[in-house]
Amino acid sequence: MIRRSLSIFLSLLIFLSLFYGCGKKALPSYKRLKVARPVENLNYLLRPEGIILKWQYPYPQDGIYFVIYRKDKELVKLGETNKNIFIDNTPLSSDSREYVIISTYNKGIKAEQRITVESLPLPEAPSGFNFKITSEEIVLSWDSREECLYNVYSIFSDKGEELLNREPLSLKFFKIKPDPEQIRIIRLRCTGDSVEGYSAEVIIRPEDYIPAKPEGLRYVLVDGSVVLTWRENPEKWLRGYRIYRNTGSGFVLAGEVAYPLFEDRLNGFKEVYYRITALGPLKEGPYSEEIKIKQ
């Protein structure tokens, strides 16, 4: 009898130990689950070629990512991102379209936010979009419309587009920094509340950087040589200067320098003509005024 009671007691003790032991091990795993929060300030930008979704996450985004769904007849998964922006390149073909943004961790509790995109009139492309390269900047200009504000974008083949202005522009011009080593594609759009219209586009190439003609060409004769000087060109992207000489049979290249100074032997010629050009990345500018050297 005693042995049977002792056996029952030990069995009960082992069962309770296993039960409470397993319970204590399971609880921390639930505590380790991260709880995602719905995104905030979810908004959209409707364009002719698609829809841009933007949002904010209320906490640091360490480990969080977002799954984007579009509701057509049923929910369709469009993709995942760890950024606060997603572009759906499917144009809006109906009066409205719903999107669902799921916030989630690899292991955790998910949260969702929804937004409905409404069809809106799309502004026409801006007219008269052009550019002018100056010594320090590129000036973009266009024909402004009273009902429009404007956004300017730089287009990249590897990372899409980059908005260049901080706030929508009410003016009809915008200045950007020159980049003579690259082909740049710049787009302009009329923008409003939740909508951007058709774009106008210019392409700025390295061969478009053409410097002005050098000014103030002068000379000094020194022991059978001539020293030419002129005023330095203002272009920050200048590559140097070319000097052309004419001894009677037409102008030929006499040399190339980085600074506005050039020395040349006259080799007994009694009358020599010089003119110079400034060099851009791929093209040289117009000729300076000729100067006549007489010994």
Rounded Cα–Cα distance for residues 188 and 181 (Å): 22
Mention every residue, 6+ apart, whose C-beta is less than 8 A from residue 269: 247, 248, 295
My answer on whether 103 and 41 are in the same domain is yes
Are 195 and 118 in contact by the 8 Å Cβ rule? The answer is no
pLDDT digit string, tens, across residues 143-171: 988 889 999 999 987 778 899 999 999 99
Residues 40 and 56 sit within 8 Å (Cβ to Cβ): yes
Residues found in the chain: 295
203 shares its domain with 228: no
Backbone angles phi, psi at 185, to 5 degrees: -110, 120
State how far the alpha carbon of 26 is from the alpha carbons of 12, 14, 34, 110, in Å.
21, 18, 16, 21
Over range 28-42, report the average pLDDT: 79
Which tokens is 153 given? 């974008």
- Shared domain for 38 and 113, answered yes or no, is yes
Q: What is the dihedral of CA 164, 169, 171, 172, to 10 degrees?
A: 60
Each residue's pLDDT tens digit, 243-258:
999 999 999 999 999 9
Q: Is residue 264 part of a domain?
A: yes
Q: DSSP class of residue 121?
A: P
Do 104 and 131 fall into the same domain?
no
Answer with the one of 72, 98, 118 that is the final residue of a domain.
118
Over residues 106-150, the pLDDT tens digits come to 888 899 999 999 999 999 999 999 999 999 999 999 998 888 999
Of 89, 118, 147, the domain-final residue: 118
Residue 10 lies in a domain: no
Task: Please answer whether residues 115 and 53 qualify as being in contact, where contact means their C-beta atoms are separated by less than 8 angstroms.
Answer: yes
Query: Do the beta carbons of residue 218 and residue 145 sit within 8 Å?
Result: no
Whether residue 276 lies inside any domain: the answer is: yes
| Dist. CA 279–CA 262, nearest whole Å | 15
Query: Does residue 213 sit within a domain?
Result: no
pTM over 0.85: no
Chain mean position to CA 206 = 18
Tally of domains in the chain: 3
Sheet holding 251-257, edge to edge: 251-257, 240-246, 271-279, 291-294
Closest CA to 50 of 169, 179, 161: 161
Q: Please tell me whether residues 106 and 147 are part of one structural domain.
A: no
Percent of all residues in the chain with a pLDDT value above 90, rounded to a whole number: 76
The listed range with the strongest mean pLDDT (23-32, 152-161, 206-215) is 206-215
Percent of the residues in the chain that have a pLDDT greater than 70, as a whole number:
89
Same domain for 102 and 43:
yes
User: Are residues 230 and 173 both part of a single domain?
Assistant: no
Residue-number span of the structural domain to which 222 is assigned: 218-294
The enclosing domain of 251 has a CATH number of 2.60.40.10
Whether residue 139 is found in the same domain as residue 157:
yes
Q: Does residue 185 fall inside a structural domain? A: yes
Is residue 2 domain-resident?
no
How high is the pLDDT of residue 6?
Answer: 44
Judge if 107 and 172 occupy the same domain: no
Q: Are 231 and 268 in the same domain?
A: yes
In a domain, 45, yes or no: yes
Taking only the tens place, the pLDDT of each residue in 68-102 is 999 988 899 999 999 999 999 999 988 999 999 99
Does any domain span residue 1? no
- Which of 118, 140, 159 delimits the end of a domain? 118
Q: Which residues contact 27 (CB under 8 A, 6 or more apart)?
A: none
Query: How far apart (Å, rounded) are the C-alpha atoms in residues 74 and 93?
Result: 16
The C-alpha atoms of residue 201 and residue 192 are separated, in whole angstroms, by 19
pLDDT score at 253? 97
3-state secondary structure of 19: helix
The DSSP 8-state label assigned to residue 7 in this structure reads H
Are residues 97 and 136 located together in one domain of the fold? Answer: no
